[in-house]
Amino acid sequence: MSGANGFDAIDKKLLTELQRDGSLSQADLAERVGASSASCWRRIRALEAKGVLGAHVRLVDPRKVGRGVHVLCHIRMQSHAAKDVSAFESFVAERDEIAECYSMSGDWDYLLIVLVANVDHYNEFLMRTVLRHPSVSTGSSHFALSQVKYTTAVPV
C-alpha cells in the first residue's frame, strides 16, 4: 500500500468494488480492478489484517422484514458516571430495535437509530423500555418520513 492515505490505486479500486458487491468472485474482482486474482487475494488479506475490511455481510431491507419505521431518538443521560454509561451502552447492545447508537457532543448524549414495525411498536419500546432505563433522563424522537439517501459505502 502506498499514497498519502496508505492505499494505492488498486487498493482503492478493490475497496470500492467490494463495497458495491462483496460477493464478486476473485476472477471478476481482478478483472474489474486490473490485477491478477492472486494479487487481489493477497491485497484483500492484507486489508483484512489491517482492519480496513471487516465482516462479510448481506444487507437486509428493513421494510421487507417488518421494520419499516426508522426513528432517530436523542437520549439525555441522568448521570455520566462510568457505571451508568456502561450500563446504558450494554442495554443498547442487547436491544434488537436499536440498529445504531452514537455517543454525541452537544445537547444530547446519544443518538439511537431505531427500526420498528410501526408507531405503536416504537411507543411501547420508548415508554416501557428506553425511558425506564435508570440512566436515562429524557429522550426526543424524530420519525424518518422517507429515506433520501442510504449507503454503507465509505469513500476511498
Q: What is the CATH number of the domain that holds 92?
A: 3.30.70.920
27 backbone φψ class: left, alpha, beta (φ>0; ψ -120 to 50):
alpha
- Residue 155 inside a domain? The answer is no
Please state the pTM of the whole predicted model.
Answer: 0.88
Range of the domain at 70: 62-143
Of the three residues 59, 82, 102, the one that is the final residue of a domain is 59
**Which residue from 147, 77, 64, 156 is spatially nearest to 113, judged by alpha carbons?**
147
pLDDT digits (tens, 9 = 90+) for 86-101: 999 999 999 999 999 9
At residue 2, does pLDDT exceed 70? no
C-alpha cell at 91: 442495554
Q: Taking the CB of residue 116, how many other CB atoms lie within 10 A of it? A: 21
List strands edge to edge, sheet with 98-103: 98-103, 110-116, 69-77, 136-143
Kindly state the percentage of the chain with pLDDT values over 70: 97
Looking at the 3D structure of the chain, how many domains does it have?
2
